[in-house]
Chains A and B, each alone.
Chain A
Amino acid sequence: MDLAFTKEEQAFREEVRSFFRDNVPPDTRRKLVEGRHLSKDEMVTWWRILNKKGWGVSHWPKQYGGTGWTSVQHYIFNEELQSYPAPQPLAFGVSMVGPVIYTFGNEEQKKKYLPRIANVDDWWCQGFSEPGSGSDLASLKTKAERKGDKWIINGQKTWTTLAQHADMIFCLCRTDASAKKQMGISFIVFSMKSKGVTVRPIQTIDGGHEVNEVFFDDVEVPVENLIGEENKGWDYAKFLLGNERTGIARVGVSKERLRRIRDLAGKVESSGKPIIQDAAFREKLAACEIELKALELTQLRVVADEGKHGKGKPNPASSVLKIKGSEIQQTTTELLMEVIGPFAAPYDVHGDDGSNEAMDWTAQIAPSYFNNRKVSIYGGSNEIQRNIIAKAVLGL
């Protein structure tokens, strides 16, 4: 057992860090620190910088543009990216549909989609959840019917993150209504510009617009847009969800936020002195840092294990990372609320349009607290994660 990173790994960390320092647009970084939303342009600009460097799809196989890094290098890259902070690559393209296409897609599909995902020429969104199918995803009803050389798609998806920016969607559709529910699902991709696609915004409790409802009304999709085999979509969905393991803990994000809390707590006064001098507050902060340290170590154990024994089957430890990671993220936003106290209240009516740069730095703290309630719900709610541990680890 050895905690230390090798010299090469430390040099790599320095390389990554200095690249971020030199290349992340300062305004993009500031907005992330303050918990603001970024515009589409800001995100795409950064991702293209990253892709030009060759780091846009770092974990993909080399032949599709990946870096060939070790598990530890990926870990370091993610940690630095999250804690700088810089925008993370668009998960829907890079972490979700990309790996499904290069693993299950045909050559033509790989050639057509992968480079465009890497350069974010297409913005992808995820068509999984439906109004009646949340945790019980396999009950989904959106239907794709084969008519000649087309699929005709009808139904509704929801919680579709950033669909307002999207060019493409990957969609789970029912293609065999008579089969057992997991068996009759197919994985189909198509343009969001297709006739019959309607995107309707959902405003979330933080006042932001991240998620949408998407309606399909007789949308015509070429048959060749089916990925892999017909009615095998559930397998691909499970593969996709199991792919994202260690990043889900978002240790770097929480670290960055804890640094901000410490910084603000040294400035904001409570009872006539900086709140960091309040023992009760300081101990709460320490408790969160300690739990995060434990999570970081748990994550490193998973990373080291992957490095040694390959990725293989989805690791149930990822459920631990999801549960603790989301709890800690939520705690950090609670601590920020506690630091600013009554100044949590003012609402920034200008939102994210950039027209109110002078708005108090506290403006996004309450929205960020509200927004972060989602992290224990999305990606398989924490209750679903507990089901997974009970079944897969404890054999209950």
Chain B
Amino acid sequence: MDFDLTEEQRLLKDSIDGLLTDSYDFESRKKYMKEKGGWSRAVWGKLAEQGLLGLPFSEADGGFGGGGVETMIVMEALGKALVLEPYLATVVIGGGFLRHAGSDAQKAAHVPGIVDGSKTLAFAQLEKNSRYDLFDVATTAKKKGDGWVIDGEKFVVLNGENADTLVVTARTKGNRRDTSGIGVFLVPANAKGVTRKSYPTQDGLHAADITFTGVEVGADAAIGNPEDSLALIERVVDEARVALCAEAVGLMDESLKTTVEYIKTRKQFGVAIGSFQSLQHRASDMFVATEQARSMSMFATMASDFEDAKERSNAIAAAKAQIGKSLKFVGQQSIQLHGGIGMTMEAKIGHYFKRLTMIENTFGDTDYHQRRVADSGGLI
């Protein structure tokens, strides 16, 4: 049992923290937001240069062979700096599908572009009525010759506007809520029949609603078994949840730090408001919530390697549920302790709150995951 980072992991942490300290202060972030697509190609290039975009891929595939802990380190740092760039969509999720189930040809076609920063991906999964159920898929992929024809609508696809390749879940047989008959397809974003409607999200990212109308792809578009890929989707989304947990911990760390600094300097009644016990206790509770979240983020990270899929997803569900509670508390109280200034777009704290809030509603909220743990027979 060991919670320390290895020497190499510490170096990784120092290097990404250093990079973001130099290039990602709050003012720079505002500028990046205004760039095309809402994030900075220059920063993305720097992440590539430091090898961070290739981190989880095996060396044979042109990556650096990083594991869950390495991704946790990166996501925490990205959270701390409130980074806009599509690391989750491209490296964690898109890369996850390629790592777990990509054929050699698929990996050769997509991994180098991810690693060198020239290509980004997006995960087109959410549907109008699917909410958090990954098996709830109405989009269809019908066989045509050797290939497939995809029809359906996907919503709130993060980085959907900019991605070069879309990773699309689609049903190859059965009914909307069947757990079998689901495939995963790599679809070029500029394929005929793909229509994208883009918009900014509440937390400053960009997403798109995407319609697929008779989109034809080849047989080589399917990742894994096109008729039975739910387990693959669950595995990759579990990894995305773990990554979101780590990002949330970074966000909470920074929220708490910013809030404590604020109440140490803001004066009312002639004293720093941080001298008031009611505020001190609130801040202490934020610390407790953040530490509990950090523990669960570590737990989830280590659980990603559990052999038993049920045990793995139960542990990750527990983490997402706990972190959902912690982030809501830390986010809301950060605004409360900032007072009026916390309500303004100008102060950075509100932007942390908004990102935290959106994480709660991504890939299952607290209620959803708590129910999963409850229905699986618990954790003890």
Which residues of A pack against B, CB within 8 Å?
1-6, 9, 72, 255, 258-259, 262, 279, 282-283, 285-287, 289-295, 297-298, 300-301, 303-305, 308, 317, 319-320, 323-324, 383, 385-387, 389-390, 393-396
Task: Out of A6, A279, A383, A395, name the residue touching B374 (CB < 8 Å).
Answer: A279
Contact check, A394 vs B302: say whether CB atoms are below 8 A apart.
no
Q: Which residues of A contact B4 (CB under 8 A)?
A: 1, 304, 308
Once bound together, how far apart are the Cα atoms of A308 and B5, in whole Å? 12
Judged by a CB distance under 8 angstroms, whether B263 is at the interface is: yes
Q: Which residues of B contact A303 (CB under 8 A)?
A: 1
Task: Out of A5, A286, A386, name the residue touching B1 (CB < 8 Å).
Answer: A5
4 closest A-B pairs by beta carbon, nearest first, are A297-B295, A390-B280, A286-B374, A389-B284
Contact check, A294 vs B322: say whether CB atoms are below 8 A apart.
yes
Contact check, A304 vs B380: say whether CB atoms are below 8 A apart.
no
Judged by a CB distance under 8 angstroms, whether B260 is at the interface is: yes
Task: Out of B285, B302, B379, name the residue touching A293 (CB < 8 Å).
Answer: B379
CB pairs A–B below 8 angstroms (27 shown): A1-B2, A1-B5, A2-B1, A72-B1, A283-B374, A286-B371, A286-B373, A287-B321, A287-B370, A289-B318, A289-B378, A289-B379, A289-B380, A290-B322, A290-B379, A293-B322, A294-B299, A298-B292, A304-B4, A319-B284, A386-B284, A390-B280, A390-B283, A393-B284, A393-B287, A396-B280, A396-B283
Q: Which residues of B contact A319 (CB under 8 A)?
A: 284
Task: Out of B263, B288, B293, B318, name the residue touching A389 (CB < 8 Å).
Answer: B288
Q: Which residues of A contact B374 (CB under 8 A)?
A: 279, 282-283, 285-286
Residue of B nearest to A296 (CB): B295
Contact check, A298 vs B3: say whether CB atoms are below 8 A apart.
no
Which residues of B pack against A, CB within 8 Å?
1-5, 69, 260, 263-264, 274-275, 277, 279-281, 283-285, 287-288, 291-293, 295-296, 298-299, 301-303, 318, 321-322, 367, 370-371, 373-375, 378-380
Contact check, A3 vs B302: say whether CB atoms are below 8 A apart.
yes
Residue of B nearest to A309 (CB): B4
Residue of B nearest to A262 (CB): B378
Q: Which residues of B contact A6 (CB under 8 A)?
A: 1
Once bound together, how far apart are the Cα atoms of A258 and B373, in whole Å? 14
Task: Out of A4, A258, A294, A389, name the residue touching B292 (CB < 8 Å).
Answer: A294
Chain B binding surface SS class: helix
Task: Out of A3, A72, A290, A323, name the residue touching B370 (CB < 8 Å).
Answer: A290
Contact check, A387 vs B292: say whether CB atoms are below 8 A apart.
no
Inter-chain CB contacts under 8 Å: number: 135
Q: Which residues of A contact B5 (CB under 8 A)?
A: 1
Once bound together, how far apart are the Cα atoms of A192 and B296, in whole Å? 47
Residue of B nearest to A394 (CB): B260
Contact check, B260 vs A395: say whether CB atoms are below 8 A apart.
yes
Contact check, A386 vs B280: say whether CB atoms are below 8 A apart.
yes
Contact check, B283 vs A286: say whether CB atoms are below 8 A apart.
no
Interface contacts beyond A289-B380, A295-B292, A396-B274: sample of 11 additional A-B pairs, CB < 8 Å, sorted by A: A1-B3, A1-B301, A3-B299, A3-B303, A286-B371, A286-B373, A291-B292, A301-B295, A304-B4, A319-B284, A390-B283
Contact check, A2 vs B287: say whether CB atoms are below 8 A apart.
no
Known: A282-B375, A290-B322. A9 touches B1 (CB 8 A): yes
Task: Out of B3, B284, B378, name the residue touching A305 (CB < 8 Å).
Answer: B3
Contact check, A258 vs B380: say whether CB atoms are below 8 A apart.
yes
Q: Which residues of A contact B302 (CB under 8 A)?
A: 1-3
Write the nearest CB–CB distance from B328 to chain A, whole angstroms.
14
Task: Out of B298, B301, B370, name the residue touching A286 (CB < 8 Å).
Answer: B370
Known: A1-B3, A3-B302. A320 touches B380 (CB 8 A): no
Once bound together, how far apart are the Cα atoms of A4 and B301, in whole Å? 13
Once bound together, how far apart are the Cα atoms of A390 and B264, in whole Å? 11
Contact check, B260 vs A293: say whether CB atoms are below 8 A apart.
no
Once bound together, how far apart are the Cα atoms of A385 and B298, in whole Å? 25
Contact check, B296 vs A293: say whether CB atoms are below 8 A apart.
yes
Known: A320-B291, A389-B287. A279 touches B371 (CB 8 A): yes
Contact check, A283 vs B371: say whether CB atoms are below 8 A apart.
yes
Once bound together, how far apart are the Cα atoms of A393 and B291, in whole Å? 12
Q: Which residues of A contact B279 (CB under 8 A)?
A: 396
Contact check, A386 vs B379: say whether CB atoms are below 8 A apart.
no
Known: A324-B292, A396-B260. A304 touches B284 (CB 8 A): no
Known: A2-B302, A259-B380, A323-B288. A291 touches B373 (CB 8 A): no
Known: A387-B280, A394-B284, A396-B280. A286 touches B3 (CB 8 A): no
Once bound together, how far apart are the Cα atoms of A4 and B306, in whole Å? 11
Which of B2, B4, B5 has the largest number of chain A CB atoms within 10 A? B2
Residue of B nearest to A303 (CB): B1
Which of A1, A262, A303 has the largest number of chain B CB atoms within 10 A? A1
